[in-house]
Structure 1
């Protein structure tokens, strides 16, 4: 292999990951035309077409797909070699790409982000927010954060938050207009705020515990006049008296504490596995990821101790 081809190989993997010259160029800080020329030069050197290009999409050819499967592990080995140098310097550095839902970002990361930056100034933390599962390897993520019950079995998981509780709540203003529900069946008479998953496009069905049956779970279909794919917006709607909310208790703890929101059907609140950081199985965790995991575990332990 000609060492001069290495930047073009990195560009090839990035274009394949994004399925777009424009997005790959933006990530790499170069122009799309320069990136395209680099890929065309690589194709000429290899004497094979790597991508099928149209005005609307970019897709790997069969040969390009086979080449990607061999190149990607090789580049990962090179990245690992650089990370091993960080180990010898005992100074974490580089870009750490994490995929996680917004609620995990707001509960676990944002409150401690400034401290993490002070501790590890050479680590660039890049967070991609979505509520679905991403291909960590294929999309270039170092790790993801999801609820424990959602994790794939072939992933290495590190528990973070401990068990979480989901509660139902509404504002005092709302309960001035509507009586509080006494049983789950009463929810049909209430305006329930509903969450639509951005990835699957499905509407979340409220999951309730069955009193006296620790393992019993009841799914409740709800009706309402407001649907959103943003949890913060849904909480704000509840605060303004639009309807009832079903959400992780920790996310609305300030509103519950100061009375902006009031819990209902508390005995039906469900407790479930909390957040875990997950990653593909690796023989050695990069230093930048290891310090991130240790940092989150430390902060979660402190939160549980309060």
Structure 2
């Protein structure tokens, strides 16, 4: 029975991840051991559950039906086992969060260390993705996103600074050579250093002043996905390659040192900070409940 439950849990994890490698990255087993478990389960059930090719793993019709029934049931099993945590002195278990790069960089550092010191039996796993995802379908306990990317059926809790801005900036040497834009449309004649989503699309640069809104898809010699790669864009801006458009707190050290000069500041409106969001279950897993309580007690900051 224990082996059956383990293999069924692996099946759900593989379907959620869309492959053995991604499922292995999210867990503690190798891709080959997950594949062996699936072959064992299919042999035991006498039916094929997964289509496998070199690029992806997708469920068969039988696999999809099993997943649709099994995934909610396993959530209930996990919730039932988690209730044992109520009898422990300290909550224990794994908390899986999905967050965008700017939150991993600017919000979590001041929260993660004191939280894990307060709850030493909790293990925190953070996955950084900037696109919108279904946290439940992907096997995460909670996510952090901005208001426009929150699912309507989720509970949302403010986390981190409540007011943020996007800032446009460039090295003084670049601006001395190319001129200082006075209107967002002037950026179309400049070298703009871009971020882009995992799918390849580059988000528009947005500006607003006195009721006038401007959205641009400016040209540029360099683009990179968020996360660590975005530092390449920042370094290029500091080196004088072009103009960058990023979160103000991300650029703050370079603005303070004078390596970058802000431009178009009257066109940089503020917007609400991020939210922690999670399913509205009656019984939250103990690690998530501890994190929610910790965030509420910590409050937010300006």
Q: What TM-score, normalized by structure 2, do the two folds share? A: 0.89
Q: CA deviation at 1:33?
A: 4.3
TM-aligned CA distance change 1:36 to 1:168, over 3 Å? closer
Map 1:159-178 onto structure 2 (within 5 A).
159-160=158-159, 161-178=161-178
Counterpart of 1:222 in structure 2 is 218
Single out whichever of 118-127 and 28-37 deviates more from structure 2: 28-37
Matched, 1:193 2:193: yes
TM-aligned CA distance change 1:294 to 1:192, over 3 Å? farther
Single out whichever of 290-299 and 91-100 deviates more from structure 2: 290-299
Counterpart of 1:36 in structure 2 is 35
Provide Cα deviations, 1:106-126, integer angstroms capped at 9, x if missing partner.
001134433232222111111
Counterpart of 2:146 in structure 1 is 147
Counterpart of 1:156 in structure 2 is 155
Output the CA distance in 2 between the equivalents of 1:23 and 1:267: 44
Output the CA distance in 2 between the equivalents of 1:29 and 1:150: 30
Counterpart of 1:267 in structure 2 is 266
Single out whichever of 108-117 and 180-189 deviates more from structure 2: 108-117
User: Gaps spanning 5+ residues in structure 2: where?
Assistant: none
Map 1:60-71 onto structure 2 (within 5 A).
60-71=59-70
8 Å CA contact 1:92, 1:122 repeated in 2: yes
Output the CA distance in 2 between the equivalents of 1:237 and 1:77: 49
Would you say how many aligned residue pairs link Structure 1 and Structure 2?
Answer: 298
8 Å CA contact 2:194, 2:224 repeated in 1: yes
Output the CA distance in 1 between the equivalents of 2:82 and 2:266: 50
Matched, 1:99 2:98: yes
TM-aligned CA distance change 1:294 to 1:235, over 3 Å? farther
Output the CA distance in 1 between the equivalents of 2:261 and 2:299: 26
Counterpart of 2:292 in structure 1 is 293
User: Gaps spanning 5+ residues in structure 1: where?
Assistant: none
TM-aligned CA distance change 1:234 to 1:293, over 3 Å? farther
Map 1:238-257 onto structure 2 (within 5 A).
238-257=237-256
TM-aligned CA distance change 1:299 to 1:242, over 3 Å? farther
Counterpart of 1:232 in structure 2 is 231
Counterpart of 1:10 in structure 2 is 9
8 Å CA contact 2:93, 2:286 repeated in 1: no
Output the CA distance in 2 between the equivalents of 1:54 and 1:96: 31
